[in-house]
Structure formats: C-alpha cells, structure tokens
Structure 1
Amino acid sequence: MILSRLTLTATLTVLLLGPASAEQSAVSTANTSGAVKHHALSLIGEPKYPEDFTHFDFVNPDAPKGGVVRMPSIGGFDSLNPVLYRGEQAPGISLVNESLMVDSIDEPSTSYGLIAEWASYPDDYSSVTFKLRDNARWHDGKPITPEDVIYSLKVNKEANPRMGLYYKNVTHAEKTGDNEVTFYFDSKGNRELPMIMGQLTILPKHFWTGTDAKGERRDPMKTTMEPPLGSGPYRVKSVSPGRSITFERVKDYWGKDLPVNKGMWNFDELRFDSYRDMTVAFESFKAGNLDFWNETSSKNWAMAYDFPAIKNGNIERQEVRLERGMPMQAFVPNLRRPKFQDRRVRQALNLAFDFEWANKNLFYGQYERVDSYFQNSELAAPKALPKGRELEILETVRGEVPDEVFTKVHQNPTNNDQTEMRNNLRQAMTLLREAGWQVKDGKLTNVKTGETMTIEFLIVSPLFERIVQPYLRNLNRLGINGNIRLVDSAQYTRRLNNFDYDVVVGNFAQSESPGNEQRDYWGSEAADREGSMNLIGIKDKAIDKLIDHVIYAKDREELVAATHALDRVLLWHDYVVPQWFSPNQRIAYRSHYGRPDRLPGLTPGFLQVWWDSNANASTEPRASN
C-alpha cells in the first residue's frame, strides 16, 4: 500500500508500505441511516484503539514542543509539488499535506481518522464514504471541503502514474451529504479500496486552481518551487534551492489535539540539508552539523563510530528491532533489454553473486539473504511444495508459469567455500550456453547476433561500488563485461522513470496486507508506464491473474494463500538477484533528544514521537561537537 504521511516521514530514508488488501474490520458505531461509521480501519484483525481513545500508547502526550532538527537529504531537489512524480521532490514535503486517514506506525495495516472523522462502506465494497471533520482547515484558515477531496482524486491520478494504477478501480467521487464525500468503484469485493482511499493526499482546490504571486495560474502537473498550501502539522518556512529546505511547526494546527496527533510532531523546526552523497553527509553528522543519522552501511556501523562525539556521550546509537516484513532488495535486470529476457541468463546472474563472501568480508556478518518478495512475514511462500488453497490458485495458471513452481522449492545458490563458488559458475556457464551465449576471445557472445554481453550497474550511492566490484569479477569469469555508472540523484530518478538502465538496485517494500500496489510492482500495464515501480519490466498474463487473486481475496486466509502463490511464481521466474536484509534499523542521534519508553513497532518514529529535551533553552541550531 502507498505510504501515508505518518509512515513516510519515519526517517525519510526508509520506505515502509502501509495497509493493503485482506478482510476489513473496525471498531464502529451505526448511524441513523443504518450504515456503519468506522473511526478506524484494519486489514488484520481489530484496531487496537477504541473510538474514544485519547492518544497512542507509544507517545508521551506531555512531550515538550520546540527545538530544531537538522536532517540529511542526499542529492538536490527541484520541486515542492507534493503529488507530481516528475522532478526531484523536496524531502519532508509530505508533512505539509494530509490524507483522510493516517496509518498507525505501531499496528500493521491499520489507519485512524485524520481529516475524516469516520468512513463507511457497504458489504460489497462497491464504494466508501468519508465524513470530513467540521474543524479541518487549510493553513490559510479556509475549511477542507468535499470539493477539495474530489479535486484531489483527479489530480493524484493524472499527476502520478503510480497513483493512476493504485486508484484504477475508482471511477469517480461525489459530494453525498453535509461535509461528506463518496468514492465509487467499478468492481466489488476489493477489500482494500476503502482503506486506500483514506490514504489519498488531499490538496486545496482554491490554491491549485488559483494564481501565484506573479499572477500566473498554478499547474499541479508541473514542478514548482512555490511553497504549497497545506493542512498538516508543518509548513514550508524557507527554501534554498539545491541546498536546504526548512519546515516550521504550525502552532495553530487544526489537528494538534486529535488523538492521532497528541504527543506527536514536537519539533519546532525541521531542516533538511542537501549533500551530494552519503559519505559527505556522514562526515557532516560527525562534525555536529546534523542531529539524526540512519545508518545503511554495515561497514560504517562496525568501524566508523569511534569519533569524539560518541566517546564523550554527545551522540548515542542503537539498533531498533522492527516488527514488520522486510523488502525484497535485489539487483534488478531490466527485461526491456533483450539480453535479460531469457530466464536462464537471469539464473546465471544469480549463480555468480557470492552473498556469503560479501556478508563475511563486506558486511561483518550483519545480514541474511533475502529469499522472498514478502520476507520476514507469514506472506512469504512456505519452504515446501504448494498445497491447499495456494495450490488451487496456482492450478489456474499451470502451463503459464515455470514447471518448477509445482515440483521444487526455490532456493538461492549458496557459496560456503570456493568449491561451491566454482560449481555455481560452471552451472552458470552451462545455462548461458543453453541460452545461446558462448565465450569467444574471452567475451561472452550471442551465437546468433554476435552481440557481446555487457552489463552496466546504475547506482546512486558510492557505498554500493565496493559491493558491485566483487560481483563484476565473478561476472568477468563468465566472459561478461560489467561496469559501474555512478550518477547523481536527479539523473538516477530520470533514468529510473524512463527505464533507462541495464541493472539497478531495487527495493520492493511490502505491507502485511498487499493489494493494488502489486499492479505497480509487477503488472503488465505498469511495465511501459513512465514512472511506475515495475522496474523489472514484467509483462506476464499469469502474474496479472495472480495479482487479481491477491486484490480480490475474500478474507485473510485467502489473501495469504494468494500471496504465497504470487511470491512462489515471482521467485521461479528468477527476475532478480536477491540481496540481503536485517530486521534491525541502525540509528544514531544527539543525546539531548528524548523518546517514549516504548517506540512504535514499525519505525523508530524520530520525527513523529521524539522531542528535544533542550527545547526550552533555544530554537537556534546548536554548535558543532
């Protein structure tokens, strides 16, 4: 499911997908017309908090307000448009606009009313109605209206191809009562649709259809550096293009006393400074110019935290255990390139990757190998042959998927010693020959076309160079000429949006209740849609059928079986070279920050629930350590 503001801003470096499909349940009350009003929606069991809850139990409701937080942003930005996929969106801009409901960062696949007071839907899930809160306001004081919501659906679908697929089954929206709006769907039985409509980013129609300070009409389909009008806990305070953006807490924020916001959004200012790469940003953190750091390098975590601020206690660090599924992170060959379309070639690429060596020599033993698109959750395909409802679903695509789906359990190759590595490379060479490639003059060459096999690894972080280099050496032993292309974030985003790459590093995060977003990841319609997340380039009718099984699952049991089937088929197509995961998030931060006794289970929640213990002393940036 697409990210909400609450989850998206956890550290602004880690993607966490929210709810998606399975059986809806909610603590609710009935209105006079017989419809059911839901203050919260859950796709897995009952929401934790009743209608009259006062605050989440992972917050300090009396947390002090104030202080300045300085965060890193890698690369620059050229747009403050909160919904457009083009351009480099400014970090933190999601804090300005809100959604109808907001995801819990402690409960998987659960959301609570934000702009909307309640949601109501019929038993067949053919529509959903939201009642907007009477006191919901834009920062200019004007009320949030059903017209704003209707306008937002149109803009979101047109401005972002991912949203176009996500809300594909939503035909239209109408004002259906006093401060009420109803979304209508073109199909029945899609249990995630009511919840994902609650995730819709709501825009002020009067702002986006108006004119700017120069008298020019605004266009939500274009990038802009004009600070947008929003309704959230923060607004843009200042912008230095290419350098930084600062947000200020809205002191009279309309929603500050809502249960979903009590004890949250405690910092007065959030500043995001741009750095060209992670190495430079980390040095700035060490020098005292940044306040929070999400460590993505196992090498750094093991070797780089011996600087003075650590030794004198000015910086603390810890590993936070996350209670959620882990993403499929992988090297992603682009199937739009003919050289990767033969499954045997992709199998050979996986055989050439030596994870065990990398984990020992590069990662200090901190990772495990990813072996599922739904890693670390009950949604991962069992390590046994399919049976029961999963097998029934797979039978609907028998003959359209690899035969091994029914006869073998998928496993990544292992390389516990050099003998295993040599055997894997020999097997890879055999597969390449079967696919029509032979080594001539030291170069892997296509027998029919004479093309030599070259692979460019497109990366945006220099940290990945040390990881790709050993992989290139193994590929070279197969006659493959591999190289690394390091680009800045703006060029990387453009090339991803246009699918202009051989191999990239993909990160396919999943929720506990997958649904419509699967179309964007693996659906045929997304393969040629600019800006989609179908980085692989999959166009497969059988996978489209399996995605529909996930989306239209009748209950949780059906969803789990359908997801097992989808996972198993994706694995046996060998679309990617799986990398690694850790269930822990590594963070470092200035020691003057306070935090609740218990952090939320899905994210450390730094921007949401932490506070500055020195807030009353000053709101000016602190001197370097």
Structure 2
Amino acid sequence: MRTLLYSIALCLFAVSAQAAPKYHAIAMYGTPKYPAEFPHFDYVNADAPKGGTLRRHVIGTFDSLNPFIPRGTPAGGIAYLYDTLTTASQDEPFTQYGLLAEFIEMPEDRSWVIYHLRKEARFADGEPVTADDVVFSFNTLVEKGSPFYSFYYGDVEKVEALDRQRVKFTFKPGDNRELALIVGQLQVLPAHYWKDRDFSRGSLEAPLGSGPYRISSAEPGKRVVYERRADYWGKNLPVNRGQYNFDRITLEYFLDDTVALEAFKAGRYDMRLENIAANWATGYQGPALNRGDYVLETFQHSLPTGMQGFVYNLRRPLFQDRTLRKALAYALDFEWTNQNIFHGQYRRTRSYFQNSELAATGLPSEDELKLLTPLRDKLPPEVFTQAYAPPSSDGSGRPRQNLLTAQKLLQEAGYTVRDNQLYTPDNQPVRFEILIDNPTWERIAMPFARNLRAIGVHTEVRRVDQPQYVERMRNFDFDMVVNVFPQSNSPGNEQRDFWHSSAAGRPDSRNIIGLQDPAIDTLVDAVISARSREALITSTRALDRALQWGYYVIPNWNLDYFRVAYSKHLAHPARNAPYGLPLDAWWDKRSTRDAE
C-alpha cells in the first residue's frame, strides 16, 4: 500500500510539474527580448578574437579571496570564478537568461521556481555542477555568509534538490515577483571543495568555481591575476559568446588615485573608468596622449544613476531632527563646486532614481496618491503639495542667501548661536564628523564644512585608511559619510536593504541612514509587490517622494555617461549596451586567434 501511495504521489508531482511552463529566460515584466535559440547578445562582437592581457587597477587593498563573508577585504574580480544559475542581459531593464540553468520552470503566480541544470556544467576541477551544489550554496551563504544574504533571500521558504539536475526554490506567501529572478543570481559554490574547509574564515587560497576564469596568482595588497580557462564548459553558450576574450586579467592595486593615474599614463595598465571630473578635464594631457597611446571616450547609458550624497546617520540623536537635516543642505554650494572643481561636467541629483522614468517629478499622480494618502499622517506634508528640488545658489562659493535661509529655519526651530557655536533646543552643541577614505573628497567636503561653520556648525572632515573605513561602515560608526545608493531599472528586494526598518540594526546592511519609518516600510513593500511595470513606476515614484522630503541625504551630482580612458590596442563592440558597460565584451586588437 505504501509503495502504491508513493507511486501516486510521484505521478501527481509529475502532472503538477508538467503543468508549469518551462522558459529559457524570465523577464520581470513582459517577455524576454531574445528568443530561445538566439545566437548572442546584440551588444557583443561574436567574432571577437581571444587572447592578450587586460590590465586594470583598483584603489585600496585586499587580504582575502572569499567575498561572501563579513570578514576581511576581498580582492576585486572574484565574480569571474563563479557561474550563476542565470545571467542578465544589459539591453533590457531586468531579464535573466539561463546560464547554469538550461530551463526555468515556474507557475504563473511565481510562488516557486525550478531550475533545470545543464548536464555539461562543470567546476574547474571537472566535477559536475549539481542541484546539491545549489542547495549547499544557498544554505551556506544564508547561514555563514554576510548578513546581506539572509536578508536578501529572506522570503525563500525552502530550497530542495529534486534530483541531480533540478533544484526547487519555494517562496513564502505574498506578492514578490522578483524572487524567481534574484535566486537565479545565486553564485554556485562546489560543495565537495568546501567539505573540509572553513567557509566562515577569510583565506588567500584560490577558491574553486565553475566560471570563465581561475586565479593564477594573488599578492595581498598588490595584484591579483585571473587566467581564462580554455576548458570552460560554458564558453560557447549564447549568453557568453563574444565575451571573456582576454587570456589574462590583471588587477593592480594602488593606495592613491593620483599615483594610479600617473601609472596609467606611464603604460602600467590599460583601462580606467574615470570618476574624477578634474582628471577627465586636465589629467590626461601629456606626451602619451599626443602620441595616441591611449583613447578618451564616453559611453552614454540609460541606467538610473541612483543617489550619491552626504548621508546622515539617524542613529545619532543629533540627526533625528528633520529641520536640522533640511537646514544643513543649504551649506553645500553645488553650483560653485561644479564650476570650480568639476569643470561643469555634472548635473545636480534630485531623485533617488535619477535618470530614469522611476524618478518622482512634479506633484504626485492620482495613482501615487492612492498609495500615499493612507500614509498622510506619517509623511512630511510637502510630499503632497510640492515638487522636491535641492537648494541652488549663485555659484559664488559663499552662498549667503542660502546660509541666511538655513539660519532662519534653525532659529524658528529653537536653535541658538553663542560664541559662533550652534546649539540645539536642548542646549547641545551641533558638532559632527564627515568620514571619508578618499583624498578626492577632501577638496569637496572642506568648502562644505567651511560654509557650515558660518552658521555655527563645527564640522571635522576625517580621512581614514580603507580597512578602518570599511570596519566603521559595517558597524555604522560615523556621523556623516559620502555614499552611493545604486539603482537599477527594476528596483525590488534590495530596497529593503536600503530603507526598511528591519535592516537598520543589522551590521553590514546598506541601510546606512538608519531609517526606521513605518511609512517608508509600507512604500518599500509596495515596490516589491508591484505586479506590472506601471505599478512599479507608480510605487517607486511614491517611495522616491517620501525619501526626498525626509532630507536623509544632501544630494550630490550625477552623469548619464561613462568616462573611459583605454590603451590604443583595446577594442570594443560598435554598439554599447544601454543598461551597462560590458567590459567583458572588449578585446585586444593585437590578438589574431579566432574566437573559440
């Protein structure tokens, strides 16, 4: 009888499994751009030759080759070692195509997903990638990895290996359409490799993966060298065709960007993504540029630029006062900074989803008001009556009118000034520290601090080395920092890590503001549960308004293009991806070997 019941159960499972469609890719909304038999992504050169070396640079240091744990500083580029179940295209807002997974099985309500692994998938030691490896990877990252993983995958109810090639993720009840896609981003680790190793400890032993590269050498704080695997199992997959073209990728480490720039001009490495406006304007002049040894090129993109700003730590009692946060923003003179430091290259950021249709503009729409009105008593009144814009100035560097506005706001809120020191209504001096780890920010933060002193706010700009900075950030040991909250065209579960109350007290979370606001929590949940692109846009704009009017950051600036300096022997596809800069599609023009 037991055997009969077991057989019936298996048959029922088979019927259920057959009822769910199988896909080669999943789009967050709508259908994938590329059909099942597509040859390659449109933004690559499928005939790019293989060979050569790409030398890049990193500012900072590293002391670990395990990027998954909250210990140490991991080396750059470790993702080259690991394949994921799926991989994203960079010319769609959010679509995942099968990589380790050949097929993706999923019901219409996305309450679970089954990934069917490719039988040919192999780790670098020749062992097959199995469903057990996926289960091991998920459980290990959630239990022993950075706290981010347990939070990010918090709505996964269970993971189980159905057989050697199929792994099933079952999700907790609720609307969370993104989960089926983000579990596909899981980097798969080899269970057999970690069986006799301590995953929770940092190590400089080159780890085993299934990706296109392996580590050939690593010198802590100096360089790490990746070597392309000629036996990489996935090199001919459509999602990989035209990519991973360099035989070797070397990351050279520098402690100072000024030294790094001079090293680039001397030919010590091949490519820089420039993030310093002054460098782009004047730093590349000299004989090497005149000889044509390297090229300066910009690449337009359609990515949300996110929010970069001076970020308040609300865990500090001083910054609990919204009026103070609002007033201090008047001391940042963007117009002067842009002209005198940035050579006029930047635009002022006003949205947490800048450069996208997700950004809130004007007054709330009727659909936004359906989300915002029930929260009216918990949100700033300006959310409903004004369009947000950061303060602007005459660009003189001494924004007198702005500082008078700040003083008036503070005076009306009960702040007083005695002996050039501003005091709170409960007679506490307004003093704080801006923590930075990059000398570039000193020349930006110092004028800001000078303007703050004009209204009685004593501000110290403190620069620390990278290890100390990382540790202090992990433990929220700062008053104010410069931070970037990156965004995609399809925001979802990561918004919890940025803004939700449940992340505020968790070490190493990205809620560095320390936000604990029930209204923000509700709007974050609305973003995650959006069931259409239109609903996502509406809920994201509503969230954006609440964040803007909370004055949690002092917005900085943004660009809608990448600035790249590169050696003349490098080449890139004619068409760039709108939602990224796929450097893995570049190649060495000196290579003559055909694509493998």
User: Which one-letter code corresponds to 1:339 in the other structure?
Assistant: L
2:577 equivalent to 1:600: yes
Partner of 1:379: 358
Task: Spell out, residue by residue over 1:475-526, the C-alpha distance to the aligned partner (whole angstroms, 9 max, x if none).
Answer: 0101111121112222111111110111111111111111110000001111
Residue 390 of structure 1 corresponds to which residue in structure 2? 368
CA distance in 2, matches of 1:539, 1:221: 30
Q: 1:274 aligns with which of 250, 253, 261?
A: 253
Q: How does 1:239-388 map to 2 (within 5 A)?
A: 239-383=218-362, 385-388=363-366
Post-superposition offset of 1:73: 1.1
Aligned twin of 1:496: 473
Aligned match of 1:197:
183
Displacement of 1:585: 0.7
Deviations 1:40-85 (A, max 9, x none): 1112433221100111122121211111111111111011113223
Deviations 1:393-425 (A, max 9, x none): 001211011111112221111102559932221
Secondary structure class of the residue paired with 1:398: helix
1:175–1:87 Cα change, 3 Å: same
Equivalences, count: 578
What one-letter code is carried by the residue in structure 1 that aligns with 2:58? S
Q: Which amino acid aligns with 1:437?
A: Y
SS of 2:566's equivalent?
strand
Deviation of residue 455 (structure 1)?
2.1
Instruction: Check conservation: 2:413, 2:425, Cα contact below 8 A.
Output: no
Q: Is the 8 A contact 2:357 2:537 kept in 1?
A: yes
Instruction: Please say if residues 74 and 489 of structure 1, whose CA atoms lie closer than 8 Å, have aligned partners that are also in contact.
Output: no
Are 1:416 and 2:401 matched, yes or no?
A: no
Q: 93, 96, 103: which is aligned to 2:88?
A: 103
1:539 & 1:451 partners in 2: Cα distance?
24
2:548 match? 571
- Give how far 1:447 is off: 4.3
CA distance in 2, matches of 1:238, 1:418: 51
- Give 1:430-469 correspondences, 5 Å limit: 430-448=408-426, 450-469=427-446
- In the alignment, is residue 524 of structure 1 matched against residue 467 of structure 2? no
State the partner residue of 2:457.
480
For 1:10, the equivalent position in structure 2 comes to none
Q: Which amino acid is 1:575 matched to? A: Y
Structure 2 residues without counterparts, runs of 5 or longer: 1-14
State the one-letter code of the partner of 2:195.
T
So what's the TM-score if we normalise by structure 1?
0.90
The corresponding residue for 1:168 is 154
Report the more deviating stretch, 125-134 or 595-604.
595-604
The counterpart of 1:228, out of the listed 173, 193, 207, is: 207
Instruction: State the Cα distance separating 1:363 from its structure 2 match.
Output: 0.9
Is the counterpart of residue 76 in structure 1 residue 54 in structure 2? no
Q: Work out the CA distance in 1 between the residues paired with 2:288 and 2:327.
A: 46
Q: In the TM superposition, what whole-angstrom CA distance separates every residue of 1:220-241 from its partner, at most 9, and x where no partner exists?
A: 2221111110000001100112
Please say if residues 333 and 504 of structure 1, whose CA atoms lie closer than 8 Å, have aligned partners that are also in contact: yes
Moved more, 267-276 or 61-70: 61-70
Shift of 1:126: 1.2
Question: In structure 2, what is the Cα distance between the partners aligned to 1:406 and 1:137?
Answer: 55
Specify the alignment match of 1:26 in structure 2. none
Q: If the length of structure 2 is used for normalisation, what is the TM-score?
A: 0.94
Matching residue's letter, 1:151 = F
Q: Deviations over 1:144-196 (max 9, x none)?
A: 11111111111222312122211110011011245101001112321101000
For 1:501 and 1:56, locate their aligned partners in 2 and report how far apart those are by CA, in whole Å. Answer: 44
Q: Is the deviation greater in 186-195 or in 252-261? A: 186-195
Q: State the Cα deviation string for residues 261-289 of structure 1 (Å, max 9, x = none).
A: 11110001111111102111111111110
Distance 2:527 2:403 in 1: 37
Instruction: Give the aligned partner of residue 14 of structure 1.
Output: none
Alignment check: 8 A CA contact 1:44 1:108 kept: no
- Of residues 67, 70, 73, the one that matches 2:52 is 67
2:119 aligned partner:
134
2:195 and 2:469 map into 1 onto residues whose CA distance is 31
Native 8 Å contact 1:65 1:266 kept in 2: yes
The reply on whether 1:561 has 2:503 as its aligned counterpart is: no
Please say if residues 134 and 167 of structure 2, whose CA atoms lie closer than 8 Å, have aligned partners that are also in contact.
Answer: yes
The one-character-per-residue Cα deviations of 1:364-407 (angstroms, maximum 9, x if unpaired) are 11111101011011111122x21321100001211011111112
Taking the aligned partners of 1:404 and 1:254, their CA distance within structure 2 comes to: 56
Unpaired segments of 5 or more residues in structure 1? 1-29, 211-217, 618-625
Amino acid at match of 2:365: K
Counterpart of 2:170? 184
1:243 is aligned with what amino acid?
K
The answer to whether the 8 Å contact 1:498/1:531 transfers is: yes
1:41 is matched with which residue?
A: 26
Distance 2:517 2:479 in 1: 20
Partner Cα distance (1:420, 1:503) in 2: 22
| Partner SS state of residue 148, structure 2 | helix
RMSD: 1.7
Q: Structure 1: how far apart are the matches of 2:368 and 2:140?
A: 38
